[in-house]
Amino acid sequence: MTTTLGIEYAQTDGFRPLCLDLRTPAVPEPPVVVFLHGGGWLRGTRGAFTPGLSDAQSFDRLVDAGFAVASCDYRLSGEAHFPAQLEDVDAAVNWLHAHGPEYGVDSSRMVLWGVSAGATLAALTALRRSDVRGVVDWFGPSDLFAMAEHDTGDAPEDTREARWLGGTAETLPGLARAASPALQAHATAPPFHISHGTHDEHVPFAQSEALAAALRREGADVEFHPVDGGQHFWLGVDDTAPLFARAIDFIRRATASPGPIGLNRRERKKSMRTDIHDVTLEGGGHGFRVRVYPAAQPNGAMLVWLHGGAFMFGTLEMPEGDQVARRLSAAGTTVVSVDYTLAPLDALEALAPPSEDPGFPSPEQLRAEAEAAGPRARFPVASLQIVEAFDWAVEHAKQFGALSDQVALGGASAGANLSTGAAMRLRDRGTTAPALLALVYPSLHDAILPPNDELARLLQDVPPTRIFTPESRDAINRNYLPDGNDPFGYAFPGGHDLAGLPPVLVVNAELDSLRASGEAFAAELARASVDVHVVRQRGAMHGYLNEIGHPAAERTLALLADAVEQTIRDGARS
């Protein structure tokens, strides 16, 4: 064995030099294990594997098995907050790729091995790169939101995790999510070997359970080894040799073949489609299509989204459809936008009077444009199509780096109505159901509900073209469901049995005559013991998602992104 200590691999301005110790076996071009120490990101040193284990019991075992070991520094939380540590690990990996051959190691066959806090860094690094063959994760934190609920006796702002982030998970949710491997799992993850003691009081055993479950949902290769009675740093384990033997066997398999990454991972990567594209489906006796907006950097979330338009209008290209989908996909959520079959135009003349804006189309122009959209049909065609679209999304979620059991459903205006009716169908079917229902300025009752005094006063200053009257709403609803026969609430869910629906986000526009429906529906959900979050967008009128850059639209897009991502966090904990 050849040991070279204190190799400087990075020097960041204002910080100490970062070094690694490289141990190499007496074999040509061995694979390399990058080791990351533990210590709660607060302390620790590259020179110790874990407390209580000598070099002969740790580093030397790996070298004797034929692997080079690069044990690396990284900045501690007293020196820099997250994500500085990931930058350091990236720098070490890059240095090994550039200089490993000078030391006789094959850095194209690289595995990351971390313990405790180092395991979190190893997992996050491997999930962000495509040049890592595998990860050995020993008892690492994987979900910082769940760790925040673990009682350590410290004040929330003084926990190891908070000191690493620079604040609590509650105050820095974006950073906490980015620092949680269980919430970053994706379909192209490299193989993982995870070991954790069942009696670990510092990092709960459930942390590794959550990471293993998240990776398996993505179809990644995972070996999960509970160690009965094991405590943190393997206290309570009489003989760690079998634990090393299992990990070494994993590394040997992960690094066996030449080349930068294994075949299975390359094939999974190729199977992920990244371009916006249309898919033709059939539902309710009519053909229809969905447009898929794959996330460039998938966070595991997927949303089936429906535009509005009084059941009669709307296209995939309108901002309420296209801009919502593009913005959410840019934030990490894959969006499946549904081009459902529209209802006939019989209610067109009952809508609000034409706008005084000379550029606003007349009813005749609207009819001519809408008639070019293709065949039309009344309830239940669109409702059944939404169920088909949701089922398609669940079946194909993994192709886009999304979790098939955490697909959300939502829409705006009539699209919110349709998504809710479809959610009730899925609930009653008793199989796969949405993880979240997201409703923006919805109309959910088979009549326009009377406004309260406050809303009535506000509506006095709203242009008539932006207000739904009882007469226009009744015409729209009878056009969609002529006989009003809706025993199960699939056409108009308000006033029906809502028990068993998933968590619901309701976003109402303040200056909207349909706000009364959204607020009443939220109260009905609460009475049915359904988790509901209600938001009123101040100063906004109905349809504001079609106004690109509108402040309410920007706030709503952020709400939608966070709500859909929350389903992934909750799913990783369950």
Check which CATH number belongs to the domain holding 121 and give it: 3.40.50.1820
Q: What is the DSSP letter of 254?
A: H
Neighbours of 428 (CB within 10 A): 13
pLDDT of residue 225: 93
Neighbours of 171 (CB within 10 A): 13
Residues 201 and 283 in one domain: no
H or E element, residue 3:
strand 2-11
Q: Structure tokens of 416?
A: 């919110």
Domain stops at, among 211, 238, 269 = 269
User: Please, are residues 157 and 168 in contact by the beta-carbon 8 Å criterion?
Assistant: yes
Residues 417 and 565 in one domain: yes
Residues 119 and 251 in one domain: yes
Q: Structure tokens of 523?
A: 């109260």
pLDDT of residue 465: 84
Residues 196 and 285 in one domain: no
Residues 168 and 299 in one domain: no
Listed in sequence order, the DSSP H helices in 116-201 are: 117-128, 144-148, 160-165, 173-178
Distance between CA atoms of residues 59 and 72, nearest Å? 13
Give the pTM.
Answer: 0.58
To the nearest 5 percent, what fractions of the chain are helix, strand and coil?
Answer: 40, 20, 45
Q: Structure tokens of 33?
A: 């294990």
Largest CA distance in the chain: 86
User: Please, are residues 419 and 407 in contact by the beta-carbon 8 Å criterion?
Assistant: no
534-563 burial code (b ≥16 CB/10 A, e <16) = bbbbeebbbbbbbeeebebbebbbebbbeb
Is the C-alpha dihedral spanning 413, 419, 421, 424 positive or negative? Answer: negative
Radius of gyration of the CA atoms of the chain, in A: 28
Cα distances (Å, whole numbers) of residue 6 to 1, 45, 559: 16, 12, 48
pLDDT of residue 567: 82
Residue 93: burial class (beta carbons within 10 Å; 0-12, 13-18, 19+): buried
Report the number of distinct structural domains present in the chain. 2
Nearest to 215 by CA among 247, 182, 193, 246: 182
Q: What is the DSSP letter of 38?
A: -
CB within 8 A of 414, min separation 6: which ones? Answer: 306, 308, 309, 310, 311, 314, 443
Q: Structure tokens of 3?
A: 């040991």
CB within 8 A of 37, min separation 6: which ones? Answer: 44, 45, 46, 48, 49, 71, 114, 115, 117, 118
pLDDT of residue 548: 85
pLDDT of residue 367: 61
Q: What is the DSSP letter of 203?
A: S
Distance between CA atoms of residues 119 and 107, nearest Å? 20
Q: What are phi and psi of 281, to 5 degrees?
A: -130, 175
Residues 256 and 295 in one domain: no
Number of C-alpha atoms within 13 angstroms, CB side, residue 496? 21
User: Please, are residues 416 and 288 in contact by the beta-carbon 8 Å criterion?
Assistant: no
- Structural domain range at position 174: 2-269
Residues 130 and 255 in one domain: yes
Residues 368 and 440 in one domain: yes
CB within 8 A of 516, min separation 6: which ones? Answer: 448, 449, 450, 451, 452, 455
Residues 50 and 164 in one domain: yes
Residues 64 and 86 in one domain: yes
Domain stops at, among 236, 269, 302 = 269
Is the C-alpha dihedral spanning 540, 543, 547, 552 positive or negative? Answer: positive
Query: Token match 């074999």: residue?
Result: 27
Residues 45 and 169 in one domain: yes
Residues 297 and 260 in one domain: no
One-letter amino acid for residue 56 of the chain: A
Query: Token match 């609803």: residue?
Result: 477
Domain stops at, among 244, 269, 294 = 269
Nearest to 188 by CA among 245, 255, 261: 261
- DSSP-derived secondary structure for 406-442: -EEEEEETHHHHHHHHHHHHHHHHTS---S-EEEES-
**pLDDT in tens for each of the 574 residues of the chain?**
899 999 999 988 888 999 999 999 999 999 999 999 999 999 999 999 988 888 899 999 999 999 999 999 999 999 999 999 999 999 999 999 999 999 999 999 999 999 999 999 999 999 988 889 999 999 999 999 999 998 888 899 999 999 999 999 999 988 899 899 999 998 889 999 999 999 999 999 999 999 999 999 888 899 999 999 999 999 999 999 999 999 999 999 898 865 444 434 444 444 567 889 999 999 999 999 999 999 877 888 999 999 999 999 999 999 999 999 999 998 889 999 999 999 998 877 666 555 554 444 455 655 665 666 678 999 999 999 999 999 999 999 988 888 888 999 999 999 999 999 999 999 999 988 999 999 999 999 998 899 999 999 999 999 988 899 999 999 999 999 999 999 999 999 999 999 999 999 999 999 999 999 999 999 999 999 999 999 999 999 999 999 988 999 999 999 999 999 888 766 544 4
